[in-house]
Amino acid sequence: MLNNKTIMIIGATGSFGQKFTKLILKKFNPKKVICYSRDEAKQFEMANDPFFKKYKKIIRFFIGDVRDHRRLLFAMQESEIVIHAAALKQVSIGEYNPFEVIKTNIFGAQNIIECALSLGVKKVIALSTDKAAAPINLYGATKLCSDKLFTSANFYSGKKDIKLSVVRYGNVMASRGSVIPHFIKNKKKNIFTVTDKRMTRFNLTLDEGANFVLQSLKIMQGGEIFVPKIPSYRIMDLVKSISDKPKIKYIGIRPGEKLHEELITRSDSMTTFEFKNFFIILPHQIFFSKKLKKFLKNYNLSNKLCKK
């Protein structure tokens, strides 16, 4: 699927970006991989990693921000597939820096879409989050807007041969800024800071996330939000898995946090189809139109494979 293709990964130096870049280099023979991010230190580290050094002839590193339309346009030249994994993601920081989060997560998404449409990109997948489902914080609200931009962009692509879709999943296990590294640090003093003992979170590994994006890239028709079937854990079970007799310090829920996240809302369920290992949420423009039959036919759907 990706052999001899030029692939651009936006946010390539993040946890997911590096994992996905490794995955496609191991599984395929791409023509070129464009790694786009704004962190020069991480780009330097990634470029000098022994694994990536082996592919230096086909990897290109571009420093740039999704806010910079002109830079994106230049970096995206010749790209056929774009994976968008860049965002401002910290919930509490986003609550106090709303203008910056909007510039990156919404205007940045618009810039990527406009560049992809003008340059002849064939497929675009944007990574989203469970916080975009019925959001109560700014980060989730901006990602919901981003999701809407990417799914709706299919309807004004005209005759251009382009498909744009979204992948939505929960917390990535042990990723930067996640709770597991925080608890591992807590283990040294055996005092665990917990927001609320009732809290639960959806969870998957980096490998699972990267492979799910690859699977979605293969079957996407354009306009879907792909949601994997993943487990959730209770925060206290996670603490007890790290320490047998933990001392707990409850600090209370932070601004913008939920006790329980959602991946599919009750309203989303009206236009959601279930597969063996994942769901797809369709936009209303497809579900309540003549396009639905054709869309489902392309998935070769049967009553055994999915249900509404």
Looking up tokens 């800071």 gives 193
Least confident window among 87-101, 205-219, 248-262: 248-262
What is the pLDDT confidence band of residue 300, given thresholds at 50, 70 and 90?
Answer: low
Find the mean pLDDT for residues 257-271: 91
**86 and 37 in contact (C-beta within 8 Å)?**
yes
State percent of the chain over pLDDT 90.
69
Q: Where are the alpha helices (DSSP H) in the chain?
A: 15-27, 40-47, 50-53, 69-75, 91-96, 98-102, 108-119, 138-152, 179-187, 206-219, 235-242, 284-287, 291-298
164, β-bridge pairs? 124
Domains and CATH numbers, the chain: 6-298 (3.40.50.720)
Burial class (CB in 10 A: 0-12, 13-18, 19+), 155: middle
Q: What is the pLDDT of residues 153-177, one digit of tens each?
A: 998 888 899 999 999 998 887 676 6
Residue 257 has a pLDDT of: 84
Q: DSSP secondary-structure letter at 277? A: S
Q: What is the pLDDT of residues 74-85, one digit of tens each?
A: 999 999 999 999
Residue 74 has a pLDDT of: 97
Find the mean pLDDT for residues 188-217: 91
Contacts of 129 (CB under 8 A, 6+ apart): 89, 139, 140, 143, 168, 169, 170
Closest CA to 286 of 212, 221, 215: 221
Whether pLDDT at 99 is above 60: yes
Find the mean pLDDT for residues 196-200: 90
Which residue numbers are catalytic? Answer: 131
What predicted TM-score, i.e. pTM, was given to this entire model?
0.91
- The listed range with the strongest mean pLDDT (102-106, 290-294, 298-302) is 102-106
